[in-house]
């Protein structure tokens, strides 16, 4: 297994995959989502809905579980670009 793939472990992560994850951190330009132990990706403010949001806190809170689509896998920089656009959400909010 190439070194770049080891951070994903046995997880089969590829662009187009739809999965659920937990919001771990809100930042001014998006939210980090954990899709598996040790694997997080970013949903940019432009990827929550068709119109960009100014504050990700308008859409999600830390601890929320949301459905995301993997848009891009960057093995070299160990980054996942995620999108929540046009995906049904369970609405499970943290308490």
Tell me the per-residue pLDDT of 58-91, one tens digit each, with 9 for 90 and over. Answer: 999 999 999 999 999 888 888 899 999 988 776 5
The structure's pTM equals 0.81
Q: Which residues, including other chains, have CB under 8 Å from residue 94's CB and lie 6 or more apart?
A: 23, 61, 62, 63, 64
pLDDT greater than 70 at residue 7: no
Whole-number Å distance between alpha carbons of 26 and 18: 21
Instruction: Give the chain's mean pLDDT.
Output: 84
pLDDT band at 95 (very low <50, low <70, confident <90, very high): very low
SS3 label, residue 60: coil
Per-residue tokens: 62: 């830390």
Mean pLDDT of 3-15: 61
As given in the structure block, the two tokens for residue 42 are 């970013």
Asked whether the CA dihedral 54, 58, 63, 67 is positive or negative, the reply is negative
Which pLDDT belongs to residue 14?
81
Q: Is the pLDDT of residue 3 over 70?
A: no
Strand duo 39-44 + 65-74: pairing: unpaired
- pLDDT score of 33 more than 80: yes
């Amino acid at each position: 297994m190439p070194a770049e793939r080891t951070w994903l472990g046995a997880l089969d992560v590829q662009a187009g995959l739809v999965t659920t994850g937990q919001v771990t951190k809100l930042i001014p330009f998006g939210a980090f989502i954990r899709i598996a132990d040790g694997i997080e990706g970013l949903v940019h403010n432009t990827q929550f809905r068709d119109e960009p949001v100014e504050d990700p806190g308008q859409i999600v809170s830390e601890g929320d579980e949301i459905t995301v689509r993997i848009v891009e896998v960057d093995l070299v920089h160990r980054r996942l670009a995620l999108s929540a656009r046009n995906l049904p959400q369970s609405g499970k909010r943290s308490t």
